[in-house]
Structure formats: structure tokens, C-alpha cells
Structure 1
Amino acid sequence: MDSALTAGKLIDMKWKLGVAVSSDECKSLNSPCVTMTLKVADSSGKISTHSMEMTISQFQNFSKQMKEMANKMEMV
């Protein structure tokens, strides 16, 4: 059986900066966060939406990793 890993095609990416004011574990959070929403099409064309929320430091790390991947892809 020959199977290949396929990645979806990024259709749209939106992000917004906000402030988390509370959570289940913390009544008074008041910390900045980034919410990202990705629209991805699979190989059949079906579009799904994925949302994630990150702290500022998590977003900075994510951004750094994406830049590193883009640089490596340009080398190929």
C-alpha cells in the first residue's frame, strides 16, 4: 500500500489581538492574546475552519517557526 501524507491548502488566515479577561481557572486574567482562524481546503476541496488562541510569546514563537520553514522551503 502506497500512501502519501497530504497537507491541506491554506485558503485564508485571519488573526486578531485581544485581551483574555477570565478563564475557568483564573477569574481575573487580563492578559493579551492572539486568536488565529485558518481556513484550509483538503484534497477533495472541502474547506474546514480551525481556530486557536495563543499568548503573545506563543504567537512570537509560532511566527519565528513559520519564517524558518519559509526560508527552508525557498532553499529547495
Structure 2
Amino acid sequence: VEKSSELPLDAKSEFVDFQWKLGLAASCDSCRSLKYPYVAVMLKVADHSGQVKTKSFEMTVPQFQNFDRQFKEIAAAIEAM
């Protein structure tokens, strides 16, 4: 996972936006070969003052699938409350 910015999150942060795109790596430290698919993710979060900060990172497709599975588990837990 490659980090492009640091964003400390706390319970007072508000999720603003989530974007993703699928790409093919031309070069990558953790990829086994070129043309390896990856998912680029960009999150926007507002802090307690309303200032929006962006957090972006890249994941392999299996990492993204695990990320998606975890969000589904979170949603199911919230719905069960």
C-alpha cells in the first residue's frame, strides 16, 4: 500500500467522498510484474472544523477486495445495532 499523504483520523472526522479507479502499473516496488492491475483510492474527510483533507493510496486487487469485504462487515454490524 502506497501512501501519498498523512491524515490522522479521529471520531470527530466526517467522511465526505470515496473515489477509486482501476489501473495497470507501469512500475511498482511491490508488484511482481509490469501491467499488474491496481486500485487507486482517494478518500476525502472533513475534520471537526470542516476542513476537508484528502488521503490517497494504491492497493493490489486482492487488497481492495479485502477492503471491500471489511466495509461490508462494518455495514452489517451497524445494521444489526
TM-score (norm 2): 0.78
Q: In 2, are the aligned partners of 1:12 and 1:39 still within 8 Å (CA)?
A: yes
1:35 to 31, 40, 62: 40
The higher-RCO structure (CA 8 Å, 6+ apart) is 2
2:58 to 50, 53, 67: 53
Give the corresponding residue for 1:64: 69
Q: Structure 1 unaligned runs (5+)?
A: none
Q: How many residues align?
A: 71
Superposition misfits of 4+ residues, deviation over 3 angstroms: none
**How far apart are 1:8 and its partner, in Å?**
1.5
> Take 1:43 and 1:13, find their aligned partners in 2: how far apart are those partners?
19
Q: In 2, are the aligned partners of 1:40 and 1:49 still within 8 Å (CA)?
A: yes
Question: How many percent of aligned residue pairs carry the same amino acid?
Answer: 49
Residues 43 and 30 from structure 1, CA distance in 2 versus in 1: closer, same or farther, beyond 3 angstroms?
Answer: same
* 3-state SS, counterpart of residue 10 of structure 1: strand
**How far apart are 1:23 and its partner, in Å?**
2.6
Looking at CA atoms only, which structure, 1 or 2, has the larger radius of gyration? Answer: 1
Residues 25 and 51 from structure 1, CA distance in 2 versus in 1: closer, same or farther, beyond 3 angstroms?
Answer: closer
Give the corresponding residue for 1:20: 25
1:6 to 11, 14, 34: 11
Residue identity in the other structure for 1:39: K
> Take 2:36 and 2:28, find their aligned partners in 1: how far apart are those partners?
11
